[in-house]
Amino acid sequence: MIAEDSPRAVQVADLSVDLGGRLVLRGIDLRIRQGEVVAVLGTNGSGKSTLIKTVVGLLPAARGEVRLFGTPVPRFREWRRVGYVPQRITAAGGVPATVYEVVSSGLLSKRRMFRPLGAAGKQSIEEALEVVDMADRRKDAVAELSGGQQQRVLIARALVSDPDLLVLDEPTAGVDLASQQIFADAIRERVARGTTVVMVSHDLGPMDALIDRTVVMRRGRIVYDGPPHSSQTHAHVHHSHTSEEDPGWMTP
C-alpha cells in the first residue's frame, strides 16, 4: 500500500478550466501520490481528457492550480520526469516518419539543441522499442502500422525518457487485444519500478488489475474517488426492469 506521507506527483487544487467560454472542469481537487496508479473514468464530455491535458500543461487553468512534483505547472521545468501519451487516431504527420524517429522525439526533454543523439539515447530508444515489442518494426513508417501498433509507438515515445509520471489519455481506445496486453505489461513493469500512472479510460480491459484507485468524473466534477470496484471495468449502466412496453433494442 502507498504510504500516506509519500510525496505528491500530482496535486490539483480547486481547478476550473474554461474551453471557449464553457466551464469544462469545475472545482476539481485531486492529489496523486508517487507510485499510485489512478484511472480517470467518465462518459464522453465528463471532462476527463480536459483534466489530463491541464495536468500536463496543455490547457491553462481558469482558476486554481496544478502542481507536478510540488511545482506549479507554468513554472515546471523537469519535463523529463513526465511521459505523456496523447489520445489520437494516428501517429503519422504529412511526411513519412519511421517508428524509430517518432520514439526518438520522446528524448527531447533530455536533449540540448544542436547536439546529436548520444549512445545512451540510442540505448534507451532500443529498450523502449523492446518493451512495446516493436523493435523489429523500427524502420517501418508509422503510417503503415495498425492503430494498435501506432499506439504502442506512442507509448514507447513516452517511456523512452524514463519518466516518473506517466499520463495516458485513452491508451486502449481502438487498440487490438494483443496490443492491449503488451501495453498492460509495459505499464506493469513501470509500476513495479515506482512510476506514477494516471490514465483516462472508457474501458480498462487488461489494465484492470493494475489500478489502485479510480476517479469517476461527471459534468466537470469528481463524483467518485476511491478504490476500484468491478462494476467500473465495464462502464455498466443498470436500468430497472419495469418499463414493460419497452421491447428492447436491436443491434445490427
Angle at 10 between CA 163 and CA 149, to 5 degrees: 40
Gap between the Cα atoms of 160 and 80, Å rounded: 10
Decide: is 21 part of the binding site for other proteins (CB under 8 A).
no
Name the residue nearer to other proteins (CB basis): 114 or 192: 114
**Exposed, middle or buried by CB within 10 Å (0-12, 13-18, 19+), for 181?**
middle
Decide: is 86 part of the binding site for other proteins (CB under 8 A).
yes
All three cell numbers of 27, joined, read 472545482
- Strands 8-19 vs 71-72: parallel, antiparallel or unpaired: unpaired
Q: Provide the minimum distance between the beta carbon of 107 and other proteins in the complex, in angstroms, as a whole number.
A: 8
Decide: is 47 part of the binding site for other proteins (CB under 8 A).
no
All three cell numbers of 87, joined, read 489520445
Gap between the Cα atoms of 223 and 48, Å rounded: 12
Rg (alpha carbons) of the chain, rounded to whole number: 19
User: How many CB atoms sit inside 10 A of residue 107's CB?
Assistant: 21
Which stretch, 22-30, 31-39, 42-50, 237-245, contacts other proteins (CB under 8 A)? 237-245
Decide: is 178 part of the binding site for other proteins (CB under 8 A).
yes
Decide: is 192 part of the binding site for other proteins (CB under 8 A).
no
Q: Which of 18, 34, 57, 127 forms a contact with other proteins (CB under 8 A)?
A: 57
Decide: is 108 part of the binding site for other proteins (CB under 8 A).
yes
Residues near other proteins, by CB under 8 A? 53, 56-58, 77, 79-80, 82, 84, 86, 88, 91, 93-98, 100-102, 104-106, 108-109, 111, 113-114, 117, 139-141, 144, 146-148, 157, 161, 174-178, 180, 203, 205, 234-236, 238-241, 243, 246-252
